Amino acid sequence: MAETLPSVEQVWVWLGDVPDPEIPVVSVTELGIVRDVRWDDDTLVVAVTPTYSGCPATAVIDLAIEARLREQGITRLRIERRLSPPWTTDWITKGAREKLRAYGIAPPVDGTASDGRTAARAARMTGRTNLVIACPRCGSSHTERISQFGSTPCKASYRCTDCLEPFDYFKCH
Amino acid sequence: MPSLPDMTTPDVVALAERAAASQPHDPHLEDVDLRPAFFDWLCRMGDNTLILGHRISEWCGHGPVLEEDIALANTALDLIGHTQMWLGLAAEVEGEGRTADDLAFLRDAMRFRNLQLLELPNRDMAVTLMREFLFDAWHFEMLTALCGSQSPRVAEIAAKALKEVSYHLERSSDLIVRLGDGSEESHRRMQDALDRLWPYLGEMFVEDAVDKAVAEAGIAPRPADLRGAWEQTVNEVLEEATLASPDTRMDVHQGGKQGRHTEHLGYILAEMQFLQRAYPGASW
């Protein structure tokens, strides 16, 4: 083959520039949803895992990845969906957690992605939620959950009882 | 809470390489004798989530408060996501070149395999939430069992869906308690909803030849095996909600799994399938 194919490492660097469509301060690699980059003969294969299985952003993410790679001259490209192992919020990089906070979204509490039913029972027994979610604006730990669901499938709605601002929490998953 | 080590790009690459290496080969997909039962069973899983997802989505823009509206829409979205995975695998197993969309939009009511419980109208918020809770409790046990399926393709879908269904069960059980043990009217409505839905619940635990075939292939649990854990969850939540389980039979209405439906399914399909029927192959 006459043309030289870009290295897999180079492709990872390019993907590091592709923002998440809903939360543009973090990239798809920081979110931990790119699972594989490889050459299948002269076709570039990028495997992407969904955050939530019904997340409508998935199609937009595929399109953004394709656009970014075509911009770099990749002509033969295949985007695959990868389910296993399922994505958890523990895949989000630490740097991205700080970017989320600066953007006004409380990042998921590290390492707590787990069985929701256990959390639910604990929450009901104690009459409150089992995690302390700090306000991304003022840092106060006096916050309360408004709703388990928010503006996108991956977020819950909270409010701060000190600065009184509502905010999104990137829920553990 | 201890922090995770910072994951730099090379770590992500390594994780992704491990993920790529663990891609499962599933011999069940090549088992021709198993194919009709496997296909039918996958349609049951996908049709359950499709029809309940559609029902719940009917609240979008009509919820009593914004948070509930958003929560219901999000739940519906999760269920439609599960449908894409289950019906996508069903189409692959069938091997006739159909897609998940073909199965969702171009089958008639008699070909749908969802539980009758899930096609009943929403009526009020009490029926909507009670139905969701009773199904969530079953769905949670089913997916938990399927995570150990001998079919790696089934197990990976279950593992993905279970994370979302845990959230559904958490929310619906919470609301059953709040509304059951709430005002006089909310209590009455929740009890009425439970009484109304009760005769449809037995279908979740009834076994037929399809269930038997996939259980024997190690793909899925026997339906009756889910009953104990389901009853425990339901009884605990109902007790906390001050609601009483009816002492009547649960297995009165059934047949959805074999394609015998109530009159309500046709109306759902008329709305859901209209566009693909009127404009075949339409895309945007």
In this structure, is residue A88 part of a structural domain? no
Q: In which residue are the tokens 């895309």 written?
A: B283
Q: Does B8 touch chain A (CB under 8 A)?
A: yes
pLDDT at B3: 37
**Chain centre to alpha carbon of residue B218:** 20
A29 and A70 fall within a common domain:
yes
Lowest mean per-residue pLDDT among A14-18, A54-58, B137-141, B242-246: A54-58
For residues A107 and A77, state if they share a domain.
Answer: no
Domain assignments of chain B as residue spans, ordered by start? 30-278
The whole-angstrom distance between A41's CA and the closest CA on chain B is 17
Q: Are residues A140 and A104 both part of a single domain?
A: yes
**The CATH number of the domain covering residues in B30-278:** 1.20.1260.10
Average pLDDT over residues A87-108: 90
Name residue A77's beta-bridge partners. A44
Is the domain of A65 the same as that of A14?
yes
Residue pair B67/A157 in contact (Cβ under 8 Å)? The answer is: yes
A90/B15 touch (CB, cutoff 8 Å), yes or no = no
For residues A70 and A114, state if they share a domain: no
How far, in Å, CA of B120 to CA of B131, rounded? 9
Residue A66 and residue A76: Cα distance in Å, rounded? 10
* β-bridge mates for residue A80, sequence order: A47
Q: Cα separation of B214 and B221, whole Å? A: 8
* Position A116 pLDDT exceeds 50: no
Measure the CA–CA gap between A154 and A128, rounded to whole angstroms: 21
Q: What is the pLDDT of residue B67?
A: 87
Report the residue of chain B nearest A80, measured CA to CA. B20
pLDDT of A120 > 50? The answer is: no
Tokens of B82: 């599960």
> Within an 8 Å CB–CB cutoff, is residue A45 touching chain B?
no
Q: Note whether A122 contacts B: Cβ–Cβ < 8 A.
A: no
Helices B125-146 and B66-94: crossing angle in degrees, nearest 10, is 40
Does residue A94 lie within any of the structural domains? no
Q: Are residues A73 and A108 in the same domain?
A: no
Residue that terminates a domain, selected from A81, A109, A125: A81
Residue A115 resides in a domain: yes
Cβ(B161)–Cβ(B144) below 8 Å: no
A139 — contact with chain B (CB < 8 Å)? Answer: no
In CATH, what number is assigned to the domain containing residue A124? 2.20.25
CA gap B173, A76 in Å, rounded:
49
Query: Do A161 and A122 reside in the same domain of the chain?
Result: yes
In a domain, A69, yes or no: yes
Instruction: Give the Å distances, CA to CA, from B273 to A60, B103, B279.
Output: 24, 11, 10
pLDDT digits (tens, 9 = 90+) for A66-94: 999 999 999 999 999 999 888 888 889 98
The DSSP code sequence of A25-76 is TSBTTTTT-EEEEEEETTEEEEEE--SSTT-THHHHHHHHHHHHHHHTT--S
Residues B168 and B140: their CA atoms lie apart, in Å, by: 9
Nearest to A35 among B16, B71, B81 (CB): B16
% pLDDT > 90, chain A: 54
Q: Has residue A62 been placed in a domain?
A: yes
Do residues A26 and A53 share a domain? Answer: yes
User: What average pLDDT does this structure show over A8-20?
Assistant: 95
- Domain contains A89: no
Report the C-alpha gap between A119 and A142 in whole angstroms: 19
More confident residue, B68 or A130: B68
Pairing of strands A105-106, A34-40: unpaired
Task: Give the residue from B177, B173, B104 showing the smallest Cα distance to B132.
Answer: B173
Domain that holds residue A73: 8-81
Place of tokens 């030849």: B209
Residues A77 and A43 in one domain: yes
Instruction: Report the percentage of chain A scoring pLDDT > 70.
Output: 86
AA letter at B11: D
Q: Which residues contact A93 (CB under 8 A, 6 or more apart)?
A: A29, A30, A32, B6, B7, B8, B12
Portion 169-188 of B in contact with A at CB < 8 A: 169-171, 173-174, 177
Q: Does residue A110 sit in helix, strand or coil?
A: coil
Domain-located, residue A93: no
CATH code, domain carrying A42 = 3.30.300.130
Q: Which long-range contacts (CB under 8 A, 24 or more apart) does A57-62 make?
A: A57/A20, A57/A21, A57/A22, A57/A152, A60/A21, A61/A18, A61/A20, A61/A21, A61/A28, A61/A33
User: Is A116 found in the same domain as A72?
Assistant: no
In chain A, the number of structural domains is 2
For chain B (284 residues), the mean pLDDT of every run of 10, in chain order, is 37 54 78 97 98 97 90 95 96 95 96 98 97 98 97 95 92 95 98 98 98 98 98 97 96 97 97 94 79
The lowest-confidence range among A108-112, A115-119, B73-77 is A115-119
Q: Which of A91, A112, A116 is facing B167, going by the closest CB pair?
A: A116
Question: Which residues sit opposite B31 in a β-bridge?
Answer: none
pLDDT, position B18: 55
Minimal CA–CA distance to B154: which of B19, B30, B20, B42? Answer: B42
Asked if omega into A85 is within 30° of 0 (cis), the reply is yes
